[in-house]
Chains A and B, each alone.
Chain A
Protein backbone atom coordinates (compact mmCIF):
# COMPACT_ATOMS: atom_id res chain seq x y z
CA UNK A 1 0.00 0.00 0.00
CA UNK A 2 2.75 2.35 0.93
CA UNK A 3 4.40 1.84 -2.45
CA UNK A 4 1.27 3.02 -4.23
CA UNK A 5 1.17 6.15 -2.11
CA UNK A 6 4.85 6.72 -2.84
CA UNK A 7 4.30 6.12 -6.54
CA UNK A 8 1.63 8.77 -6.52
CA UNK A 9 3.27 11.37 -4.34
CA UNK A 10 6.65 11.32 -6.05
CA UNK A 11 5.18 13.21 -8.99
CA UNK A 12 3.73 15.83 -6.71
CA UNK A 13 6.88 16.66 -4.79
CA UNK A 14 10.14 14.82 -5.04
CA UNK A 15 10.02 14.32 -8.78
CA UNK A 16 7.70 17.14 -9.70
CA UNK A 17 8.15 17.35 -13.47
CA UNK A 18 8.26 21.14 -13.59
CA UNK A 19 10.08 22.18 -10.44
CA UNK A 20 12.37 19.21 -9.90
CA UNK A 21 12.92 17.45 -13.23
CA UNK A 22 12.65 20.60 -15.40
CA UNK A 23 10.58 18.79 -18.02
CA UNK A 24 7.94 20.36 -20.22
CA UNK A 25 9.32 23.84 -19.82
CA UNK A 26 7.94 25.26 -23.08
CA UNK A 27 4.24 24.93 -22.30
CA UNK A 28 4.95 25.90 -18.70
CA UNK A 29 6.34 29.25 -19.72
CA UNK A 30 3.92 29.88 -22.55
CA UNK A 31 0.54 29.13 -21.01
CA UNK A 32 1.08 30.16 -17.39
CA UNK A 33 -0.09 33.67 -18.29
CA UNK A 34 -3.34 33.02 -16.43
CA UNK A 35 -4.58 30.45 -13.94
CA UNK A 36 -7.23 29.01 -16.22
CA UNK A 37 -4.79 28.52 -19.10
CA UNK A 38 -2.33 26.78 -16.80
CA UNK A 39 -5.06 24.52 -15.47
CA UNK A 40 -6.36 23.76 -18.97
CA UNK A 41 -2.89 22.85 -20.23
CA UNK A 42 -2.20 20.75 -17.14
CA UNK A 43 -5.43 18.78 -17.48
CA UNK A 44 -4.87 18.24 -21.22
CA UNK A 45 -1.38 16.91 -20.58
CA UNK A 46 -2.69 14.80 -17.68
CA UNK A 47 -5.30 13.21 -19.96
CA UNK A 48 -2.74 12.41 -22.66
CA UNK A 49 -0.29 11.07 -20.10
CA UNK A 50 -2.92 8.88 -18.46
CA UNK A 51 -4.20 7.41 -21.73
CA UNK A 52 -0.76 6.84 -23.22
CA UNK A 53 0.54 5.26 -20.00
CA UNK A 54 -2.44 2.86 -19.93
CA UNK A 55 -2.12 1.85 -23.58
CA UNK A 56 1.65 1.52 -23.45
CA UNK A 57 1.55 -0.52 -20.25
CA UNK A 58 -1.12 -2.77 -21.78
CA UNK A 59 0.88 -3.30 -24.94
CA UNK A 60 4.26 -3.51 -23.23
CA UNK A 61 4.79 -7.16 -24.13
CA UNK A 62 3.49 -6.83 -27.68
CA UNK A 63 5.60 -3.97 -29.00
CA UNK A 64 9.07 -5.07 -30.17
CA UNK A 65 11.61 -2.98 -28.29
CA UNK A 66 13.40 -1.82 -31.45
CA UNK A 67 10.38 0.05 -32.75
CA UNK A 68 9.01 1.11 -29.40
CA UNK A 69 9.80 4.82 -29.78
CA UNK A 70 7.89 5.30 -33.05
CA UNK A 71 5.05 3.22 -31.62
CA UNK A 72 4.90 5.40 -28.49
CA UNK A 73 4.97 8.55 -30.60
CA UNK A 74 2.06 7.22 -32.67
CA UNK A 75 0.00 6.45 -29.57
CA UNK A 76 0.79 9.78 -27.89
CA UNK A 77 0.10 11.78 -31.05
CA UNK A 78 -3.29 10.11 -31.39
CA UNK A 79 -4.40 11.13 -27.91
CA UNK A 80 -2.99 14.63 -28.41
CA UNK A 81 -5.03 15.03 -31.59
CA UNK A 82 -8.15 13.83 -29.75
CA UNK A 83 -7.55 16.43 -27.03
CA UNK A 84 -7.03 19.05 -29.71
CA UNK A 85 -10.35 18.25 -31.39
CA UNK A 86 -12.34 17.94 -28.16
CA UNK A 87 -11.02 21.25 -26.80
CA UNK A 88 -11.83 22.94 -30.09
CA UNK A 89 -15.37 21.57 -30.01
CA UNK A 90 -16.24 22.26 -26.35
CA UNK A 91 -13.98 25.03 -25.02
CA UNK A 92 -13.04 27.15 -28.04
CA UNK A 93 -11.66 30.02 -25.94
CA UNK A 94 -9.24 27.77 -24.12
CA UNK A 95 -8.34 26.08 -27.40
CA UNK A 96 -7.48 29.47 -28.88
CA UNK A 97 -5.49 30.57 -25.83
CA UNK A 98 -3.38 27.40 -25.74
CA UNK A 99 -2.96 27.45 -29.53
CA UNK A 100 0.02 25.64 -30.92
CA UNK A 101 0.96 24.29 -27.51
CA UNK A 102 -1.80 21.68 -27.70
CA UNK A 103 -0.30 19.78 -30.67
CA UNK A 104 3.10 20.33 -29.07
CA UNK A 105 2.08 18.12 -26.12
CA UNK A 106 3.37 15.38 -28.45
CA UNK A 107 6.94 16.46 -27.87
CA UNK A 108 6.44 17.22 -24.18
CA UNK A 109 9.31 15.29 -22.62
CA UNK A 110 7.19 14.33 -19.61
CA UNK A 111 4.92 12.06 -21.62
CA UNK A 112 7.49 10.21 -23.71
CA UNK A 113 9.74 10.18 -20.66
CA UNK A 114 7.13 8.41 -18.48
CA UNK A 115 6.38 5.93 -21.27
CA UNK A 116 10.05 5.07 -21.63
CA UNK A 117 10.99 5.14 -17.96
CA UNK A 118 7.88 3.73 -16.33
CA UNK A 119 4.93 2.44 -18.34
CA UNK A 120 6.87 -0.01 -20.46
CA UNK A 121 8.22 -1.77 -17.38
CA UNK A 122 5.18 -1.72 -15.10
CA UNK A 123 1.62 -3.02 -15.08
CA UNK A 124 -1.45 -0.97 -15.90
CA UNK A 125 -2.47 -0.10 -12.33
CA UNK A 126 0.96 1.20 -11.38
CA UNK A 127 1.18 3.09 -14.66
CA UNK A 128 -2.14 4.78 -13.94
CA UNK A 129 -0.94 5.83 -10.48
CA UNK A 130 2.30 7.10 -11.96
CA UNK A 131 0.49 9.08 -14.66
CA UNK A 132 -1.91 10.60 -12.13
CA UNK A 133 0.92 11.65 -9.81
CA UNK A 134 3.04 13.16 -12.58
CA UNK A 135 0.08 14.73 -14.36
CA UNK A 136 -1.34 16.29 -11.22
CA UNK A 137 2.14 17.51 -10.24
CA UNK A 138 2.47 19.18 -13.64
CA UNK A 139 -1.05 20.64 -13.43
CA UNK A 140 -0.40 22.01 -9.94
CA UNK A 141 2.86 23.62 -10.99
CA UNK A 142 1.24 25.25 -14.03
CA UNK A 143 -1.76 26.46 -12.05
CA UNK A 144 0.39 27.92 -9.27
CA UNK A 145 2.53 29.77 -11.80
CA UNK A 146 -0.61 30.90 -13.60
CA UNK A 147 -2.12 32.20 -10.37
CA UNK A 148 1.02 34.14 -9.50
CA UNK A 149 1.36 35.70 -12.94
CA UNK A 150 -2.34 36.48 -13.23
CA UNK A 151 -2.59 37.88 -9.70
CA UNK A 152 0.31 40.28 -10.04
CA UNK A 153 0.16 40.79 -13.80
CA UNK A 154 -3.56 41.46 -14.10
CA UNK A 155 -4.85 41.66 -10.53
CA UNK A 156 -7.24 38.73 -10.86
CA UNK A 157 -7.45 34.98 -10.23
CA UNK A 158 -9.30 32.73 -12.69
CA UNK A 159 -10.61 35.93 -14.23
CA UNK A 160 -12.12 37.32 -10.99
CA UNK A 161 -10.66 40.63 -9.91
CA UNK A 162 -9.35 40.30 -6.35
CA UNK A 163 -6.85 43.09 -5.93
CA UNK A 164 -9.26 46.00 -5.91
CA UNK A 165 -9.05 49.10 -8.02
CA UNK A 166 -6.10 50.68 -6.23
CA UNK A 167 -3.83 47.89 -7.48
CA UNK A 168 -1.67 48.79 -10.43
CA UNK A 169 -0.94 45.54 -12.34
CA UNK A 170 2.69 44.68 -13.00
CA UNK A 171 2.34 44.36 -16.76
CA UNK A 172 5.77 42.75 -17.11
CA UNK A 173 4.51 39.53 -15.57
CA UNK A 174 2.04 39.09 -18.40
CA UNK A 175 4.79 39.32 -21.03
CA UNK A 176 7.45 36.85 -22.17
CA UNK A 177 10.25 38.11 -19.88
CA UNK A 178 7.88 37.87 -16.92
CA UNK A 179 7.36 34.17 -17.64
CA UNK A 180 11.06 33.40 -17.48
CA UNK A 181 11.71 35.47 -14.40
CA UNK A 182 8.71 34.15 -12.45
CA UNK A 183 9.61 30.54 -13.19
CA UNK A 184 13.26 31.16 -12.32
CA UNK A 185 12.39 32.66 -8.97
CA UNK A 186 9.84 29.91 -8.28
CA UNK A 187 12.53 27.30 -8.94
CA UNK A 188 14.85 29.02 -6.50
CA UNK A 189 12.05 29.16 -3.93
CA UNK A 190 11.25 25.46 -4.34
CA UNK A 191 14.92 24.57 -3.97
CA UNK A 192 15.01 26.65 -0.81
CA UNK A 193 11.94 24.93 0.65
CA UNK A 194 13.30 21.49 -0.16
CA UNK A 195 16.57 22.29 1.59
CA UNK A 196 14.75 23.71 4.59
CA UNK A 197 12.34 20.82 4.95
CA UNK A 198 15.04 18.29 4.08
CA UNK A 199 12.97 16.49 1.47
CA UNK A 200 15.56 14.65 -0.55
Chain B
Protein backbone atom coordinates (compact mmCIF):
# COMPACT_ATOMS: atom_id res chain seq x y z
CA UNK B 1 0.00 0.00 0.00
CA UNK B 2 1.43 3.34 -0.90
CA UNK B 3 1.51 6.27 1.48
CA UNK B 4 -1.25 8.21 -0.24
CA UNK B 5 -3.59 5.26 0.16
CA UNK B 6 -2.65 4.95 3.83
CA UNK B 7 -3.46 8.62 4.39
CA UNK B 8 -6.77 8.52 2.53
CA UNK B 9 -7.95 5.31 4.13
CA UNK B 10 -6.91 6.33 7.65
CA UNK B 11 -8.51 9.77 7.53
CA UNK B 12 -11.70 9.12 5.59
CA UNK B 13 -12.57 5.64 4.40
CA UNK B 14 -11.65 3.83 7.60
CA UNK B 15 -12.00 6.69 10.04
CA UNK B 16 -10.76 5.49 13.41
CA UNK B 17 -13.80 6.70 15.34
CA UNK B 18 -16.64 6.36 12.91
CA UNK B 19 -15.60 3.11 11.30
CA UNK B 20 -13.17 1.34 13.62
CA UNK B 21 -14.89 2.23 16.90
CA UNK B 22 -11.75 3.35 18.68
CA UNK B 23 -11.63 6.38 20.94
CA UNK B 24 -15.37 6.55 21.53
CA UNK B 25 -14.98 7.66 25.17
CA UNK B 26 -13.14 10.92 24.41
CA UNK B 27 -15.32 11.25 21.31
CA UNK B 28 -18.43 11.46 23.47
CA UNK B 29 -16.72 13.18 26.39
CA UNK B 30 -14.77 16.00 24.79
CA UNK B 31 -16.98 16.87 21.85
CA UNK B 32 -19.21 19.43 23.54
CA UNK B 33 -17.31 22.52 22.35
CA UNK B 34 -15.32 23.08 19.18
CA UNK B 35 -12.44 24.71 21.08
CA UNK B 36 -11.93 21.82 23.46
CA UNK B 37 -12.21 19.28 20.69
CA UNK B 38 -9.51 21.04 18.69
CA UNK B 39 -7.29 21.01 21.80
CA UNK B 40 -7.91 17.34 22.34
CA UNK B 41 -7.24 16.64 18.67
CA UNK B 42 -3.89 18.42 18.80
CA UNK B 43 -2.87 16.51 21.92
CA UNK B 44 -3.81 13.22 20.25
CA UNK B 45 -1.87 14.04 17.07
CA UNK B 46 1.17 14.84 19.20
CA UNK B 47 1.07 11.83 21.50
CA UNK B 48 -0.03 9.35 18.87
CA UNK B 49 2.88 10.15 16.56
CA UNK B 50 5.41 9.91 19.38
CA UNK B 51 3.98 6.71 20.79
CA UNK B 52 3.76 5.10 17.36
CA UNK B 53 7.46 5.78 16.79
CA UNK B 54 8.53 4.57 20.22
CA UNK B 55 6.39 1.42 20.17
CA UNK B 56 7.61 0.62 16.67
CA UNK B 57 11.22 0.86 17.84
CA UNK B 58 10.49 -1.20 20.94
CA UNK B 59 8.70 -3.87 18.94
CA UNK B 60 11.20 -4.19 16.13
CA UNK B 61 14.42 -3.87 18.11
CA UNK B 62 13.45 -5.39 21.45
CA UNK B 63 10.42 -7.66 21.38
CA UNK B 64 10.80 -9.31 18.00
CA UNK B 65 14.55 -10.15 18.12
CA UNK B 66 14.19 -11.69 21.57
CA UNK B 67 11.01 -13.63 20.79
CA UNK B 68 8.97 -11.68 23.32
CA UNK B 69 6.16 -10.74 20.95
CA UNK B 70 3.60 -12.05 23.42
CA UNK B 71 4.57 -9.26 25.82
CA UNK B 72 3.57 -6.55 23.34
CA UNK B 73 0.30 -5.45 24.98
CA UNK B 74 1.89 -5.04 28.40
CA UNK B 75 4.99 -3.29 27.02
CA UNK B 76 3.06 -0.96 24.74
CA UNK B 77 0.70 0.25 27.44
CA UNK B 78 3.58 0.88 29.83
CA UNK B 79 5.55 2.72 27.16
CA UNK B 80 2.51 4.86 26.36
CA UNK B 81 1.78 5.63 30.01
CA UNK B 82 5.42 6.52 30.59
CA UNK B 83 5.56 8.63 27.45
CA UNK B 84 2.49 10.63 28.40
CA UNK B 85 4.01 11.31 31.84
CA UNK B 86 7.27 12.37 30.23
CA UNK B 87 5.58 14.68 27.72
CA UNK B 88 3.61 16.25 30.52
CA UNK B 89 6.70 16.90 32.64
CA UNK B 90 8.79 18.23 29.76
CA UNK B 91 6.03 20.49 28.48
CA UNK B 92 5.44 21.91 31.93
CA UNK B 93 9.11 22.89 32.26
CA UNK B 94 9.91 24.04 28.75
CA UNK B 95 6.77 25.30 27.11
CA UNK B 96 4.16 26.51 29.57
CA UNK B 97 1.95 27.96 26.84
CA UNK B 98 1.65 24.66 25.04
CA UNK B 99 1.23 22.90 28.36
CA UNK B 100 -1.71 25.12 29.26
CA UNK B 101 -3.26 24.36 25.89
CA UNK B 102 -2.73 20.58 25.90
CA UNK B 103 -2.05 19.83 29.56
CA UNK B 104 -5.56 19.00 30.71
CA UNK B 105 -6.02 16.51 27.87
CA UNK B 106 -2.82 14.56 28.45
CA UNK B 107 -3.92 12.42 31.42
CA UNK B 108 -7.05 11.46 29.47
CA UNK B 109 -4.92 10.16 26.66
CA UNK B 110 -3.37 7.19 28.48
CA UNK B 111 -6.74 5.48 28.52
CA UNK B 112 -7.59 6.61 24.99
CA UNK B 113 -7.71 3.33 23.14
CA UNK B 114 -6.78 4.92 19.82
CA UNK B 115 -3.19 5.30 21.00
CA UNK B 116 -2.71 1.66 21.98
CA UNK B 117 -4.91 0.61 19.06
CA UNK B 118 -2.74 2.38 16.51
CA UNK B 119 0.43 0.93 18.06
CA UNK B 120 -1.03 -2.58 17.75
CA UNK B 121 -2.46 -2.00 14.27
CA UNK B 122 0.93 -0.78 13.04
CA UNK B 123 2.55 -3.98 14.22
CA UNK B 124 -0.26 -6.10 12.81
CA UNK B 125 -0.01 -4.48 9.39
CA UNK B 126 3.77 -4.83 9.35
CA UNK B 127 4.32 -1.14 8.57
CA UNK B 128 7.86 0.19 8.25
CA UNK B 129 8.90 3.26 10.20
CA UNK B 130 7.79 5.77 7.55
CA UNK B 131 4.42 4.07 7.05
CA UNK B 132 4.07 3.95 10.84
CA UNK B 133 4.57 7.69 11.20
CA UNK B 134 2.30 8.54 8.27
CA UNK B 135 -0.38 6.18 9.52
CA UNK B 136 -0.26 7.55 13.06
CA UNK B 137 -0.54 11.16 11.91
CA UNK B 138 -3.36 10.34 9.50
CA UNK B 139 -5.34 8.42 12.09
CA UNK B 140 -4.96 11.29 14.53
CA UNK B 141 -6.08 13.79 11.90
CA UNK B 142 -9.07 11.56 11.16
CA UNK B 143 -9.85 11.49 14.87
CA UNK B 144 -9.62 15.29 15.09
CA UNK B 145 -11.83 15.78 12.05
CA UNK B 146 -14.50 13.45 13.44
CA UNK B 147 -14.27 15.17 16.83
CA UNK B 148 -14.56 18.70 15.43
CA UNK B 149 -17.49 17.83 13.16
CA UNK B 150 -19.25 16.22 16.11
CA UNK B 151 -18.59 19.24 18.32
CA UNK B 152 -20.03 21.53 15.66
CA UNK B 153 -23.19 19.45 15.53
CA UNK B 154 -23.47 19.16 19.29
CA UNK B 155 -23.20 22.90 19.82
CA UNK B 156 -26.38 23.21 17.78
CA UNK B 157 -27.95 20.14 19.30
CA UNK B 158 -27.80 21.87 22.67
CA UNK B 159 -30.40 24.31 21.42
CA UNK B 160 -32.60 21.72 19.79
CA UNK B 161 -35.65 20.29 21.44
CA UNK B 162 -34.59 16.69 22.00
CA UNK B 163 -36.71 14.24 23.97
CA UNK B 164 -35.47 14.13 27.55
CA UNK B 165 -34.72 10.42 27.30
CA UNK B 166 -32.42 10.86 24.34
CA UNK B 167 -30.68 14.00 25.60
CA UNK B 168 -26.91 13.68 26.01
CA UNK B 169 -25.10 10.52 25.05
CA UNK B 170 -28.03 8.79 23.35
CA UNK B 171 -28.66 11.46 20.75
CA UNK B 172 -24.90 11.92 20.30
CA UNK B 173 -24.58 8.24 19.41
CA UNK B 174 -27.40 8.42 16.89
CA UNK B 175 -25.76 11.52 15.40
CA UNK B 176 -22.46 9.67 15.24
CA UNK B 177 -24.27 6.88 13.43
CA UNK B 178 -25.51 9.26 10.75
CA UNK B 179 -22.02 10.77 10.45
CA UNK B 180 -20.60 7.30 10.12
CA UNK B 181 -23.09 6.62 7.35
CA UNK B 182 -21.79 9.69 5.55
CA UNK B 183 -18.19 8.56 5.98
CA UNK B 184 -19.08 5.17 4.52
CA UNK B 185 -19.48 7.03 1.27
CA UNK B 186 -15.71 7.51 1.11
CA UNK B 187 -15.22 3.77 0.78
CA UNK B 188 -14.56 2.83 -2.77
CA UNK B 189 -13.48 6.33 -3.77
CA UNK B 190 -10.00 4.91 -4.12
CA UNK B 191 -9.24 1.42 -5.30
CA UNK B 192 -5.97 0.50 -3.71
Contact = CB atoms under 8 A, between A and B. Distances in A.
A47 B11 CA distance: 35
A161 B176 CA distance: 30
B24 A185 contact: no
A22 B169 CA distance: 8
Given A78-B74, A85-B70, A184 B177 contact: yes
B173 A187 contact: yes
B79 to A, nearest CB: 11
Given A30-B21, A73-B78, A181 B116 contact: no
A176 B120 CA distance: 21
A56 interface: no
Contacts of A195: 165
Contacts of B81: 69-70, 73
Contacts of B23: 26
Contacts of B22: 26, 104
Given A29-B21, A176-B21, A176-B180, A70 B70 contact: no
A44 to B, nearest CB: 13
A55 to B, nearest CB: 14
A84 B73 contact: yes
B166 interface: yes
A27 B20 CA distance: 10
A81 B73 contact: yes
Interface in B50-99: 70-74, 77-78, 81
B131 interface: no
B25 A109 contact: yes
A69 B111 CA distance: 11
A59 B108 CA distance: 26
Contact of B19 (A73, A109, A176, A188): A176
Q: Is the interface of A mostly helix, strand, loop or mixed?
A: helix
B120 A180 contact: no
Most A-side CB within 10 Å, residue of B23, B111, B174, B177: B177
A106 interface: yes
Contact of B70 (A81, A106, A183): A81
Interface string B164-184: 111001111111111011001
Given A22-B169, A81-B71, A112-B111, A100 B19 contact: no
A184 B77 contact: no
B191 interface: no
Given A84-B73, A177-B184, A26 B173 contact: no
A30 B24 CA distance: 10
A109 B176 CA distance: 21
A25 B28 contact: yes
Interface in A89-135: 100, 103-104, 106-109, 112
Interface in A142-200: 172, 175-181, 183-185, 187-189, 191-192, 195
11 contacts: A22-B169, A26-B113, A27-B21, A69-B81, A73-B77, A100-B117, A103-B116, A176-B18, A178-B177, A187-B166, A188-B170
